[in-house]
Chains A and B, each alone.
Chain A
């Protein structure tokens, strides 16, 4: 779509329509014939999507998702073992969002994220080593051990941070988009945030400015349906988040976040608008986190059954299933990837373990870019 969504489909409708690999439970009164036709159509669509990418690219998407999954599993272990301090918000279940979206941009484009950003940092090309070392609070971490889980940065790769005030990165991303337009470049900015951030003023203030001034920012709402322990239903009067773009006459799309290719293609459409016409887009990408909000989450606000229902649509399982079904790869190739990814994560753990702590003198560095010496005249 090239214009704003006049009447976006309801979330449920869209999920049914756009999910190319859907295994949604059918309501009892659904015509089974109709359902079969829908599913066949979805398969065709997926086949078509797969055919648009070469096998190397498809394998890379799979590898990145798996790397994030394995990395986060190890982060959880290291957290429980007391190696990682503070908060630790895992990305497990949401891998298709970050990988699909970031696969649609160039390396010199910007990504800004919330505090649930380990996976996004990996997808932007940061090494498992630099991220794990940061989690361990080591000098070799991507932020020299000063940022931790919630503040990963890599300037050379255009990863402009994890930001830990809900919605705080949204005006910042609007600003990087402003700068790229000011500088006359065609860089775009991807701004990731959870659906709970949509209730913050920062979201609305930013979307208003972005559309008003035509800024090349793509706002990616990762709707995992819970702001910490508060469900979307308990927190949002209008739950169709894509529709909120209408308030700013901004283009928007609802996307199945369990389908990495659907995410990629929706982001590509948004990137085209941003690069060519400096136009922003709001993408509501429906996903689900399989783990708690953070490592200390008791999880008593949702049922095991609900989690299992979404785990049936595990983005990695869905993608590998279609790769195998369409015979893009055989299972040996995928197993090989898994082995390599596990090695990479193990290596990152060793690296983090063996890395030095920050020098105590680092406490007082990086406060000012041009420090003022006392008594300077």
Chain B
């Protein structure tokens, strides 16, 4: 075990997979000579050379599509978006090409590609650079969508994503790159996609949280423990496909659920999780599922407004107390 940051864990995952498989290459804006806008790809150009670590022009639709085409011809591209905000320009290729190619070719063309980069709320960069887009991508059959919350998950899940034969949208949280944690040293350490992780066991209320919301939910759970409320925190880690069974098992035990997310509430993943709980575990619920979502507004710049827009420990505590009928 080593204690490293999420940034370093991602770097290790990419490095190990590049070394393991010649068909893996990395492309994106500033990934090579600049060492990555967020330094996730630091040192890779020196180690693997310009053939495999490729700086692209600022041309998201173009290089996303180029990646999909390269995957059709047998390569395993890792396409970095400097941030997922810019993936919006590439959605045609992600959604119409990557996600659907296997199906509309009658099973002939698999697309083993990873689209990765930071997403979610950042710090004070206003509306176009600070948003949670995972619910968009989770909408489409054919894509897998992964959102790690710890260094170990980041490494294990990214390695699995690179080895996976399907297109994976891998969203790292921009605020979390510096978060530290223990990561196994074994180069064959992977975490399977589609498996949720119970980040904290509890008996009274289930909190389903992903990405940035996981450490915030864990902090809320600590405070709530002192208040006599035992919370179970579940991190789906992969949101498509969603490991709903693990969530339902928890609900059967706690009978109360809070879903925390940075997404906007309308058509967000939280709405989906709530619905699936209702469909599968209605009789086990002691009350309605409560969502704590990002505010239904474009992200503001001003610090005080931004803080109001992103779910925090206080909001999660309030929601848990509400579903537990404590207030």
Contacts and interface: CB of A to CB of B under 8 A. Distances in A.
Given A179-B75, A212-B57, A366 B106 contact: yes
13 contacts: A151-B105, A154-B108, A155-B108, A168-B96, A171-B68, A172-B69, A175-B70, A179-B70, A183-B73, A366-B105, A368-B142, A372-B193, A376-B194
A377 B68 contact: no
Interface string A155-193: 100001101010010111111111110110000000000
Nearest to B51: A182
Given A174-B65, A368-B166, A374-B245, A208 B92 contact: no
B215 interface: no
B97 A370 contact: no
B106 A153 contact: yes
Nearest to A177: B69
A-B pairs, top 5 by smallest CB distance, nearest first, are: A175-B69, A171-B65, A205-B62, A144-B106, A179-B73
Interface of B: 25, 51, 56-57, 59, 61-75, 92-93, 96-97, 101-112, 141-142, 144, 164-166, 192-195, 238, 241, 243-245
A176 B165 contact: no
Contacts, number: 163
Contact of A201 (B61, B63, B97): B61
A169 to B, nearest CB: 9
Given A171-B65, A208-B62, A143 B70 contact: no
A17 B112 CA distance: 47
Given A202-B65, A372-B241, A175 B107 contact: no
Contacts of A206: 62, 65-66
* Most chain B C-beta atoms within 10 Å of own C-beta, residue among A173, A201, A372, A375: A372
Nearest to A187: B73
A372 B193 CA distance: 8
A147 interface: yes
A2 interface: no
B136 to A, nearest CB: 17
A178 B241 contact: no
Interface string A347-371: 0000000000000000001111110
A58 interface: no
A201 B180 CA distance: 41
Given A175-B73, A178-B69, A208-B59, A372 B106 contact: no
* Most chain A C-beta atoms within 10 Å of own C-beta, residue among B92, B104, B194: B104
A292 interface: no
* Most chain B C-beta atoms within 10 Å of own C-beta, residue among A161, A172, A180, A212: A172
B68 A143 contact: no
Interface in A119-162: 141-147, 151, 153-155, 160-161
Nearest to B107: A366
A110 interface: yes
